[in-house]
Amino acid sequence: MANTAKQRQTSNAFRVIHRYLGFFLVGIMAVYATSGIIMIFRDTDFLKEEEHITKQIKPWASDQELGQLLGMRQLNVEKTEGDLVYFRNGTYNRSTGEAQITIKELPEVLNKMTQLHKARSADPLFFLNLFFGISLLFFVISAFWMFMPSTPVFKKGMYFTLGGIVLTLILLFLK
C-alpha cells in the first residue's frame, strides 16, 4: 500500500513539473518546430528573399582568391568573357574589382529562428539550447511517470511508444 502511495506521489510530481515546464517552453518549442520545418526546405528558395549586393574587392584577383575575397566557399568560375568573370549568382569585373552578387535569404525573423536552431557551443547563448534539449529529454522520460503502470492508459501508451520507436528506427536507417 505504501509503495502505491509513493508511486502516485511520484507520478503527480512528474505531472506537475511536466505541465509547468511545458507551459514555460511553449514559445521556444514553437520556434524550434517552425524553424525545423523551414530548414527542411533550405535547399530551395522557399520563403527566401532576393538581395543584390555590390562589393569592391581588389582588381585582378585570381579565380582561387575570388571566393576568399567575397567570403563565398566553393566558388566556381563558370566562364570568363574579357574582364568579366561569371560565377553562380554573380559576376566580377577584374579591371574594376567590382563584384555583383545576388543572394537569397530568409526574412530576418525566420533567419534568426533557424540560426537559433543550428546553435553551436561557440555561440553566446548555447546554454539556452542546452537547457531546451535537456528539457525535451525530461519530457520524454517524464511521460512514463504520468500514469500508473497498472492503468489501461499506460499500457496503451506502451503500444504507441513501441510504434514511435519503430518509426524512428525506420527513418534513421531508411537512407
Tell me the pLDDT tens digit for each residue of 65-86: 999 999 998 899 999 999 999 9
Summarize the confidence of residues 53-71 as an average pLDDT.
92
Residue 139 and residue 163 share a domain: yes
The reported pLDDT for the residue numbered 145 is 84
Boundary residue ending a domain (77, 105, 133)? 105
C-alpha cell at 164: 514511435
* 20 vs 16: CA distance, rounded Å: 6
The reported pLDDT for the residue numbered 53 is 95
Residue 54 and residue 14 share a domain: no
Q: What is the DSSP letter of 151?
A: S
Residue 67 and residue 95 share a domain: yes
Residue 19 and residue 96 share a domain: no
Helix, strand or coil, per DSSP, at residue 1: coil
Residue 39 and residue 75 share a domain: no
pLDDT tier at 1, thresholds 50, 70, 90: low
For the entire predicted model, the pTM comes to 0.73
Q: Judge whether residue 2 has pLDDT over 70.
A: no
Residue 137 and residue 60 share a domain: no
Q: Judge whether residue 165 has pLDDT over 80.
A: yes
Number of domains in the chain: 2
pLDDT tier at 4, thresholds 50, 70, 90: confident
Nearest by Cα to 71 from 85, 50, 90: 90
Residue 170 and residue 112 share a domain: yes
Domain limits for position 129: 2-43+108-174
Nearest by Cα to 86 from 66, 110, 69, 106: 66
Q: In b/e form, how buried is each residue of 34-59, taking b as 16+ CB within 10 angstroms?
A: ebeebeeeeeeeeebeeeeeeeebee
Q: What is the DSSP letter of 37?
A: H
Residue 123 and residue 89 share a domain: no
pLDDT tier at 16, thresholds 50, 70, 90: very high
* 76 vs 156: CA distance, rounded Å: 56
Q: CB-based burial of residue 111 (10 Å sphere; 0-12 exposed, 13-18 middle, 19+ buried)?
A: middle
Q: Judge whether residue 61 has pLDDT over 70.
A: yes
Longest dimension (CA), the chain: 90
Summarize the confidence of residues 143-167 as an average pLDDT.
91
Cβ–Cβ under 8 Å, residues 82 and 75 = no
Nearest by Cα to 160 from 152, 21, 139: 152
Boundary residue ending a domain (59, 79, 105)? 105
Residue 142 and residue 67 share a domain: no
Residue 53 and residue 39 share a domain: no
Residue 170 and residue 114 share a domain: yes
Residue 168 and residue 143 share a domain: yes
The reported pLDDT for the residue numbered 6 is 86
